[in-house]
Amino acid sequence: MSAANNIEKIKPQISENALRVLEKRYLKKDENGTVTETPENLLWRVASEIASAESSYGGDVNEWSVRFFNIMADMSFMPNSPTLMNAGTPRGQLSACFVLPIGDSMEEIFGSLSATALVHKSGGGTGFNFSRVRPAGDRVRSTSGVASGPISFMELFDHTTEVVKQGGTRRGANMGILDASHPDVMNFVKTKTESAKLTNFNISIGVSDAFMRTLAEDGDWDLVNPRTGEKCGSVRASELWELLTESAWKTGDPGILFLDKIEVCNTVPLCGKLEGTNPCGEQPLLPYESCNLGSINLIRMADDRGEINWDKLEETARVAVRFLDDVIDRNNYPLDEISKMTRSNRKIGLGVMGWAELLFARGVRYGGRESLALAEKIMGFIQETGHSESEALAAVRGSFPNWEGSVWANEGRKMRNATVTTIAPTGTISIIADCSSGIEPVFALAYRRKAFNDETLIYTNQYLEKELARACLDRAAILEKVLNDGTLASCDVPRHVKDVFATAHEISFAEHIEMQAAFQKYTDNAVSKTINMPNSATADDVRRAYLMAYETGCKGITIYRDRCRESQVLYMGAGKEGAGKNEPKPEGKRSVKRRRPSNLQGTTVKIATSFGNLYLTLNLLDNSPFELFATLGKSGKDTQAHTEALGRLISLALRGGIPVKEVIEQLKGIGGGQPIFEGGDMILSLPDAIAQGLEKALGETVEIAREDMCPVCGAPTIHAEGCLRCVSCDYSKCF
């Protein structure tokens, strides 16, 4: 495709939400934290940096800079966050996804641990398959000892992730995979249900076709020692399956990766097997591979009625493929091994976002037959166009170096990229593009979002408002209910309106899976999606979902049953916070405030915080916590005042009979702007420090599901695209 002449830059279309996110995380700042870059400057910085690769192939750098700028300024396309953040900066690391090898020796394991720290520091997420690590209790010849097993080493990687901030701003994310044939697989499945370990990991079981056949036959499944390659036991396939689905029902982990289905789509089999994926599971990669991702905003490809402009979609897809191929050349990779492997296969992943809005505009229910047919048609078109553009680039630039022996070589097709399409998470970039995430449905038709100066704004779905106006329905009364519930469930509207505007938990798990399968049919890599289930879903529903995902051709599946973790709070409507309206409220059973005697005994502990050392004195009355004094050393007056106020309020609560455990549960896990790592624990904020200090004084730990709270603003999170995302402040754990 030749560059058009006299093309001019368009004016960026930046929404209020997008501006807030850009200022917070993407725009350049000076040493005082003052923003020094406009959104237009950012897009031009990215576009011109990526287009500079064109000079190596005879392309016009200026014209391609404008083309790249325009598809971003129009919000038609956005690359993954590291590209937006780092292109044209000294860091220059542009990839979101990495897979690192895990061997069985200490040298290999700690080598990968070091590589992990460097990848996380650069802003990337990592995936690992721990199946080569010998099982716990196995022989270690060099020391005449016994092995600690893969789970113990995963904990080491987890702690490292806790320490290293991703891209200097947040902790990274990991995917940990263990094959179903590993002797430690049963304990691996239980890691999230029996402990608070691996909080920085998504975990998945690698399942083969052979296992699924054994399950169907209700047979015994062999467990194989990876050190010797010999059978070392067996388990009923149904027993493992039962444990897996029960665990997923309870916690959302583990997910499943269908490894044989993934390997069938390995376009470079001579380079190795696809045994690992990135944290959200959509990008199977070989060891040391990275992938550069970007997404087309589908609602920008359509008119007000949702009719697709196929010419615009083709043009956008072709420019996006070229952009992503140029990213490979301009990338500053964190390791030489990653640079070599990535440039040898040149994998890219072009996907979509804004799918929910497109269906709203067309008046089509998510998961219905019409929506599934449209999904296949659109993704089929994008894949065909993407492959065509990759061939066109190969004609000028040459095929990827490992083309010989690839699937493409066997088909006689010169290709620039080993893979072209991926449905990736778009948590933050979809906010910038002002659309819904990936191929997910919306989670609420109204929601709160934090704005500047801690102001909370209320948003309602614009397509719903248009439909209410079109149908001459009682807009004010309906929106009042939507603001309270987040859905149309209790509203007096026609059935078809409720169908079209169904939210994630009103869509059956079968419809979720069918949508994932429809997009997977025309996606080279995989699809990032969460199969949301209501709290009332049963373990049998999870079993049926896993089987359905396998039978419909999905490469993996992640399910999440709403409120399955004890402390998770559903955060749907803009009119409610905390527990769902149908959940029982605590009874008014607090005892009368106790009087303080003149003498009390207690314990004083010291906790390091980013504001100085925090000294907590917990006094007891009748062997029960009675009052707390909190003092912060070397802090400003305001910070000390806040600390003293917390101590007084906690003392008031304790004297009023509120159990100290409930106080800890309320404070523990609250995130702040300056977390630190101290004594093996992460101190997120002053409230979190007080909670951990209380635990230290009591000599016991109060377990909470910390990952269900946003570490940035403390709001509840939702599970979407295989990861956690905050609907209040735009934080996401994995991207």
Closest CA to 234 of 185, 191, 190, 193: 185
Locate 493 and state its tokens: 């509207």
CA distance 620 to 65: 68
Provide the angle, in degrees to the nearest 10, between the axes of the packed helices 369-397 and 355-362.
Answer: 130
Locate 99 and state its tokens: 């897979």
Q: Which of 70, 174, 266, 278 is catalytic?
A: 278
- Strands 717-720 and 170-171 turn out to be unpaired
Residue 376 is a catalytic residue? no
Residue 278 is a catalytic residue? yes
Element (H, E) at 554: none
CA distance 631 to 614: 6
CA distance 84 to 19: 14
Closest CA to 390 of 332, 328, 476: 328
Q: Cis (ω within 30 of 0) for the bond into 254?
A: yes
CA distance 63 to 61: 6
CA distance 312 to 232: 58
CA distance 100 to 290: 9
Instruction: Give how far Cα 582 sits from Cα of 406, 444, 562, 570, 643, Å.
Output: 56, 17, 14, 11, 35
| HEC per residue, 597-614 | CCCCEEEEEEEEECCEEE
Q: Which of 70, 129, 275, 280 is catalytic?
A: 280
Residues 211/121, Cβ–Cβ less than 8 Å? no
CA distance 445 to 193: 32
Residues 499/362, Cβ–Cβ less than 8 Å? no
CA distance 594 to 655: 5
Q: Which of 49, 282, 514, 707 is catalytic?
A: 282
Locate 193 and state its tokens: 């249900």
A 10 A CB-CB count for 535 gives 14
Residue 62 is a catalytic residue? no
CA geometry: angle at 608 spanning 603 and 613, to 5°? 75
Closest CA to 546 of 570, 522, 516: 516
Element (H, E) at 418: none
For the chain, give the longest Cα–Cα distance.
89
- Strands 174-179 and 201-207 turn out to be parallel
The 10 Å CB-count burial string (b at 16+, else e) for 476-487 is: eebbebbbbbbb
Active site amino acids: 278, 280, 282
